[in-house]
Structure 1
Amino acid sequence: MEPIFQALVAAVASFSAISLLFLAVLLLCRRRSPKPPPPFLSMSLSIAPSRPAAHGEESFTFDPSLPHVSLSDLAAATENFSPGRILGDGGFGFVYKAILPSGAPVAVKRLSPDLARFQGFREFRAEMETIGHIRHPNLARLLGYCAAGPDRLLIYEFLPGGSLDQRIHDPDPDPPLSWSARLRVLRGVASGLAFLHEDCRPSIIHRDIKASNVLLDGDLDARIADFGLARMLETSQSHVSTLEAAGTLGYMAPEYREGVTTASAKGDVYSFGALAVEILTGRRPSWPVKGDDGVEMGMVKWARRAVVAGRGMEILDPLINKEGVMDAEVMAVLVVAYRCTDEVPKSRPSMGMVVKHLNNL
């Protein structure tokens, strides 16, 4: 029995030694294991996204002074998009005056739900983020957007001067736009378009230049609106993307009416020329005008005939106080409009050239 007892003691001793060695190694490894990350690093993993979202809703603001707004905020700020809040309308939807909870007035454009069917949300977001960072004195600033399902709302700065359409065609303007104010508006629109065409990368084609898309601030300086809804024209040495032609009757370039389906900067130039005639004459481009022979024709054609005949002062808006207005200056502006509305797109000047001509007056 003694040899067996000795063997048992030896086995127990060996097991104890091995166990102690294993525990020592385990403690050493625990001491050397990395510490958990400090609290601020753990918190960084749960930072809220820049576009707070709820129930599929997404919003984003480009102006630090504008707080986060939701679809419900904008609905309340417009009295549930009340007709009494409508500032204007266009091919893309209605514009409403909104008063935010902070008391700040903004303009909210509610896009037509049909647009959501033709443009994916990612594409919409990318375009809005690009355009939201564009800044120019003659472009209406996009402050942010809110989107949920088919609802897409754009938040613009509110401009107290209203639209150029309202100021020109108000049956009882108080006061009517003076010649100098109209010339300043024309210079502003030309400058904004030149920036979109020649300074933005990629270039931006507006596609719907008209009086209702020109807004006025308190000093009657012009701001082009809705340029953010035109698709950007990407150009490179190897590729020119196609941009669907669009526009409004009376302002639309003749090549679009004749079936050309690709928009271009020259189409915007034509629309600017029609707008220039409208500003000078006070007549709507979509309304026919009777010529001296009693035959009705489009406003642009009627004005072009007057330019050729040298009758600029005769077609000037009768609401303009003509005291101090020089015939040569009126004719110079009409000549710019004449060149912009040339039937041949290649013969039209660039908007950069138009800016130079108008600034030299």
Structure 2
Amino acid sequence: MGRHSATCVAAQQRASRHGSQASIGRVGLLAVTLGVGAAVAGGTAVAHADDSVGNDRGTAATRSVASTTSATAVDAGPSVRAFRRTGKASVDTAVADTSVADGPTSRPRSVRKNARPVLALLEVVRQEFETAADRRAERAAATTDVEPVTPAPTDQVSTQYGSIGKWMVEPSGQISDYGGQREDGKSLLEPVNIVIVDTKSTNAFQARLRLNRAMRASGFPPQPIHTGGFRGIINGKAYRQQPSGLLQGYSDNVFFETNNHGRIFGPAPVATPGGYVWSGTFSEEEWGTYQGRPAHLYVSSNVARDALAAKMVASGRATCAGQIALDNAYNTDTVTTGDHDGHAAVLILT
């Protein structure tokens, strides 16, 4: 979310400026390196020329500079003659000419030896420029990566009925994960997918009575052998589940057969006086084994949600007000909400 928000746009502009500055810095580095390389090459050649004259002539070197220079010019070959005609000579020509040795005390071998580090340095700079574009592309891709959002037990969505919590929460305070069962190797989170609105009750006790009567009349009475103790969050407050009996849940069939079951949380006061709102988590399950033990296995969230809505409307105990988006459908590398589509059915008690 928010890929095209102002913050992201600013981040992209900063990345673009950084990339431009990095390119300018590399160009400057190349220029400096080339200058240093030329200076080193030139300085080395002069130093060896001076040292050679001193070694060959001793203290008389200063008196024979003219004759030595003349002799060197004559013996230097095409490179020097070309320099006299054009005022310049290529590096390749100079290196090729200095490869001719006059004898054991000749100096071209020293010149070649000191040219190698400079050429190696220039090769490193060339390779740096060849890979600079790839590195800039990698950095740009890294800055656009978006970390997956991690759901939190306290996540809520603002709706016309209040801030509805996204999840059924365990007694430990964590998002309920179907007793630790895995779905395709992922944690199976249990989302809220039902919202029930009571516009007629004047207190919480009356709201609980009306809810339980409506559930029984719709074919979803409290049934045994379902885990309990869960909570749901509405307007920032955690509410205990209904039904409140030990190991009970609302279900349309016995526990050892495929059934649609769930828990409902509340009642929380709505914005208008004299009304309450509930949230609920329902899923279809079947009896089976998990890791060698008897267990209820997850089948579907959407099937159970739609079954409850249809039966409550058919019973005359509620009308359907459509669906609201709770943005609580997940399917990442580590977590899933099964077939849940991120919406809750809204039922208005009659």
TM-score (norm 2): 0.29
Q: Which has the larger radius of gyration?
A: 2
Q: Which has the higher contact order (CA 8 A, sep 6+)?
A: 2
TM-score, normalization by structure 1: 0.28
